[in-house]
Each structure stands twice: as C-alpha cells, then as structure tokens.
C-alpha cells in the first residue's frame, strides 16, 4: 500500500532527480516520493491527489517557486511546507518573506555539508506531520461533563500542558452515561474525571487534578538558597540556572508551569528554534530541565506573603507552610484586568474575552 506523499518541486531537473532518488532511498518505505520541475504541472498533480483523497505529508519546494506554496496549501492544508533555498543570509532571501507571511513551515539551506543535514531535517519535519495525524489510542484520563461546560476547557488545559492523553465524553451520550454508571455516580455533580486506574474525581480542584497527574503539590522544603515564585518563562529559566549552579532551589507556582507562553501555539522569537516551537512544548521541556538540574518544583501552591527574617527572606504559602531562602526571585508575570461584567465573566473559556489593557 502506498504511503503518504512527499512531493518535491525543483526547477533544476538534475537536482530534482537527485533529490527524488535520495529521498526515496531514505524515506521510501513509509512515504511515496513524487516530484516535478514545473510548478504548474505540480499543481495539477496535487489537484489530482486532493481529488483522490491521497494524503500529502510534505512539500519540498525550491525558492524560485515560493509563490507555489500558497496555492498548494489550499489543496493540502495539513501538509508541511518546506522551502529549499540557496545559502543567502540576506534579508531578501525567499525564506525570510515566506516564513514571515506564513507561507512556509520550515526551510532547508543548500548546499548541505553531508546527506545527514538533509535527512535529519526532513525526518524532523515528517515526524511533526505524523504526530499531528496520530490519535492516541490510550486515554490516561476520561472527562465526563455536559457539552459546553466551561470547566472542561480548564481540565483540557491541564491535560495538554502535561501531555496527558485524554478523552471527553458528553454526559448526554451513551458512553458518558456508561462511564458514570461504572463509577457508581450520577450526573448531579459534574465534571467527573476518571483516571486509567479507576481513580475518580468529582469536580476536581486544581491541586486534586495536579496530584492525579503526578506532580508535586505540597512543599516539604523548609529552607533553601533560592525560592522562585512563578513558573513562567522567567521563573523556569531562573530555576534552571540556579539549580545548575548547585544552589538548592524551590520553585512555587500558583497554577501550572508555562505562564502565558505555555498557552501559545507557536513561539518564533525564542533563540535556537528558527521555525518556532509550540509554547507548551518549550515550557514543558524547560520545566523538565529545571527538575533534572535538581530544582524542587511545587504546583498549585500560592505564595501569599513575603517577609524578612534576618539575612533571609520568608515566603508564606496559602496552605500555611513557609519557605526560608537567602534569595527570592519574584517572577509572577502579569494578569489581565477584567471587565467585571457577571454575565460576560460566565462565558470565559467559551470563546469570550473579558480582558482590557
């Protein structure tokens, strides 16, 4: 059975032949490699594939045909678009404009020093496409709630930030009612979250849910070198550097790690990721890095007061515990001011925005 298509467009026919041969040799077991030197002919071929429901995973197009990508994207909107450009680090390079306008997802610069530079990049881009097609067949959590319940969006946010596969089951449906019956519950209190091992949480609080996910929600460190309040980009970065220098580090976060950056689908101005990176993925990796460096991370724990105790600083927490540190880093970020209209506030999480500058 033929695999998804990897389509190449290169006006240089000799270059096209080499690319088709090289890519077939490397990826031909999983993908069908096709191509053309003419953008017009390529569009006709892509139109035929779209009409025949033949999936296109990736389009590799040389810089002279960058306009082609916009039209090809209309035919295959889920395909990854890769621009093949000559080495030219000027602001007029086709890659600069294509990325700025959102006409390309990635780029590859030629000539490459060895084949692995091409294969490695293409493997990454194809893996990204494959990941987007895969539907997890294992659900770590099952959420049962009414359709349109704003709490479901909050629960989904927690699951997504911690990369936990989950499923949503409307209580109005047969599957949702069956899950409640199996748990011995009715629909009087929703949402209900059921973990894979049978643990049931009814209308769980953030600490309940964070604990079920497996993260630490209780601080058991009384003294440390550095206490960091806030686990957004600034707090996470401070935790990585402090812990990597051998300082005993405690990071306290009122909600979940990542801050506003964690909710961003694509961050393009972070050093080291020229094609951008998902904010949740970036913040998740940074949090994992801070933990591996030795930082003690506590989620769903609010700091409510800061006091001085001799040469140290005392951070008091909402649960009554406290942390004494030589240095405290406040990285709480910002919070939008709200309009305060009750009927409008009730729609937060359902597509309504009630913030103001």
* pLDDT tens readout for residues 140-197: 999 999 988 888 888 888 887 777 889 999 999 999 999 999 999 999 999 999 999 9
Q: Which residue bears the tokens 């294992």?
A: 138
User: Over 70: is that where the pLDDT of 311 sits?
Assistant: yes
Q: How confident is the model at residue 260 (pLDDT cuts 50, 70, 90)?
A: confident
Query: What pLDDT does residue 262 have?
Result: 85
Weakest mean pLDDT among 99-103, 114-118, 237-241: 114-118
Q: Give the CB-side neighbour count of residue 266, counting CA atoms within 13 A.
A: 7
Q: Are residues 196 and 308 in the same domain?
A: no
Residue 34 inside a domain? The answer is yes
350 is a domain residue: no
pLDDT for 193 equals 95
Question: Tokens 């049931």 map to which residue?
Answer: 200
CA-CA distance, 72 to 353, in Å (whole number)?
34
| Half-sphere exposure of residue 335: CA atoms within 13 angstroms, side-chain side | 8
Domain shared by 239 and 291, yes or no: yes
Q: How many CA atoms lie within 13 A of 213 on its CB side?
A: 25
**Residue 165 vs residue 122, higher pLDDT:** 122
Band of residue 249 on the pLDDT scale cut at 50, 70, 90? very high
Are residues 277 and 294 both part of a single domain? yes
Query: pLDDT (tens digit, 9 = 90+) per residue, 323-352?
Result: 999 999 999 987 777 777 777 766 655 555
Task: Kindly state whether residues 109 and 12 are assigned to the same domain.
Answer: yes
CATH number of the domain to which 207 belongs:
3.40.30.10
In a domain, 184, yes or no: yes
Q: What's the pLDDT score for residue 74?
A: 94
Last residue of a domain, one of 133, 168, 195: 133
Predicted pLDDT of residue 224: 97
Closest-CA residue to 36 (of 57, 20, 53, 55): 20
- Better pLDDT: 99 or 357: 99
Q: What is the mean pLDDT of the chain?
A: 89
Instruction: Give me the CATH number covering residue 63.
Output: 3.40.50.2300
The yes-or-no verdict on residue 213 having pLDDT over 60 is yes
Contact 321, 216 (CB under 8 A): no
Q: Does 289 map to a domain? A: yes
Supply the angle between the helices 150-161 and 206-213 in degrees, to the nearest 10.
30
Q: Quick check: is 47 in a domain?
A: yes
Domain boundary (213, 241, 271) is at: 213
Whether residues 145 and 70 fall in one domain: no
- pLDDT for res 339: 77
Cα Rg of the chain, angstroms: 25
pLDDT at 28 over 60: yes
Residue 294 buriedness (CB in 10 A; 0-12 / 13-18 / 19+): middle
For residue 6, what pLDDT is reported? 97
How far is CA 104 from each of CA 39, 189, 342, rounded to the nearest angstrom? 16, 47, 43
The backbone torsions φ and ψ at residue 20, rounded to the nearest 5 degrees and listed phi first, read -60, -40
Q: Is residue 321 part of a domain?
A: yes
- Structure tokens given for 81: 């678009």
187 lies in which domain range? 141-213
Which segments of the chain does DSSP mark as H helices, in order? 13-27, 39-51, 66-75, 94-100, 115-133, 150-161, 174-182, 206-213, 233-244, 279-293, 342-345
pLDDT at 355 over 70: no
Question: HSE of 302 in the Cβ direction (CA atoms, 13 Å)?
Answer: 6
Residues 79 and 150 in one domain: no
pLDDT of residue 56: 97
**H or E stretch covering 312:** strand 312-317
End of a domain among 84, 114, 133? Answer: 133
Band the pLDDT of 134: cuts 50, 70, 90. low
pLDDT for position 135: 59
What is the arithmetic mean of pLDDT over 48-54? 95
Q: What is the pLDDT of residue 21?
A: 94
Burial class (CB in 10 A: 0-12, 13-18, 19+), 278: middle
Tens digit of pLDDT for each residue in 17-27? 999 999 999 99
Q: Looking at the structure, do residues 238 and 179 belong to the same domain, yes or no?
A: no
- Collapsing DSSP to helix, strand or coil, 258 comes out as coil
Residue 66, C-beta contacts closer than 8 angstroms, at least 6 positions apart: 83, 94, 97, 98, 103, 104
Residue 259 sits in a domain whose CATH number is 3.50.50.60
Predicted model pTM? 0.79
Domain tally, the chain:
3
Q: What is the pLDDT of residues 274-309, one digit of tens each?
A: 999 988 889 999 999 999 999 999 999 999 999 999
**347 assigned to some structural domain:** no
Q: Is 334 helix (H, G, I), strand (E, B) or coil?
A: coil
Quote the percentage of the chain above a pLDDT of 90: 63
Residue 30 has pLDDT above 90, yes or no: yes
314, 233: one domain? yes
In terms of pLDDT, which residue wins out, 91 or 2? 91
| pLDDT recorded at residue 66 | 63
Q: In what order do the strands lie in the sheet with 5-9?
A: 32-36, 5-9, 56-62, 80-86, 106-110
One domain, residues 58 and 118: yes
Residue 335 belongs to a domain:
no
Confidence at residue 97, expressed as pLDDT on a 0 to 100 scale: 85
Neighbours of 201 (CB within 10 A): 18
Indicate if 250 and 287 belong to the same structural domain. yes
Model confidence pLDDT, tens digit, residues 63-110:
876 678 889 999 999 999 999 998 888 888 888 888 888 889 999 998
Of 92, 108, 116, which Cα lies nearest the Cα of 274? Answer: 108
Are 186 and 229 members of one domain?
no
Question: Both 165 and 275 in a single domain?
Answer: no
pLDDT at position 116: 79
């Amino acid at each position: 059975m033929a695999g998804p298509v990897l389509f190449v467009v290169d006006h240089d026919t000799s270059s096209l032949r080499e690319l088709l041969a090289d890519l077939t040799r490397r990826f031909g077991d999983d993908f069908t490699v096709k191509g053309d030197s003419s953008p017009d002919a390529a569009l006709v071929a892509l139109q035929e594939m779209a009409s025949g429901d033949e999936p296109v995973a990736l389009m590799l197009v040389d810089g002279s045909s960058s306009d082609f990508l916009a039209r090809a994207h209309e035919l295959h909107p889920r395909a990854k678009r890769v621009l093949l450009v000559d080495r030219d680090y000027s602001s007029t390079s086709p890659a600069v404009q294509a990325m700025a306008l959102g006409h390309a997802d990635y780029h590859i610069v030629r000539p490459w020093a060895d084949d692995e530079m091409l294969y490695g990049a293409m493997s990454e881009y194809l893996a990204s496409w494959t990941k987007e097609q895969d539907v997890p067949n294992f659900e770590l959590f099952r959420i049962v709630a009414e359709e349109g319940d704003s709490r479901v969006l909050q629960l989904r946010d927690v699951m997504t930030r911690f990369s936990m596969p989950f499923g949503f089951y409307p209580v109005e449906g047969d599957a949702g009612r069956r899950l409640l019956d199996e748990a011995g519950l009715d629909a009087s209190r929703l949402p209900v979250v059921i973990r894979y091992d049978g643990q049931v949480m009814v209308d769980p609080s953030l600490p309940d849910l964070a604990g079920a996910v497996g993260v630490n929600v209780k601080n058991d460190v009384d003294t440390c070198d550095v206490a960091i309040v806030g686990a957004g980009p600034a707090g996470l970065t401070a935790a990585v550097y402090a812990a990597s220098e051998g300082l005993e580090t405690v990071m306290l976060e009122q909600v979940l790690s990542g801050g506003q950056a964690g909710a961003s689908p694509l961050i393009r101005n972070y050093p080291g990721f020229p094609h951008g990176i998902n904010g949740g993925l970036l913040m998740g990796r940074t949090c994992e890095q801070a933990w591996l460096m030795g930082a003690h991370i506590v989620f769903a724990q609010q700091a409510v007061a800061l006091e001085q105790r001799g040469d140290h600083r005392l951070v008091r927490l909402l649960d009554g515990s406290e942390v004494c540190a030589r240095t405290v880093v406040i990285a709480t970020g910002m919070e939008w001011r709200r309009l305060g209209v009750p009927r409008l506030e009730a729609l937060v999480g359902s597509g309504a925005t009630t913030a103001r500058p």
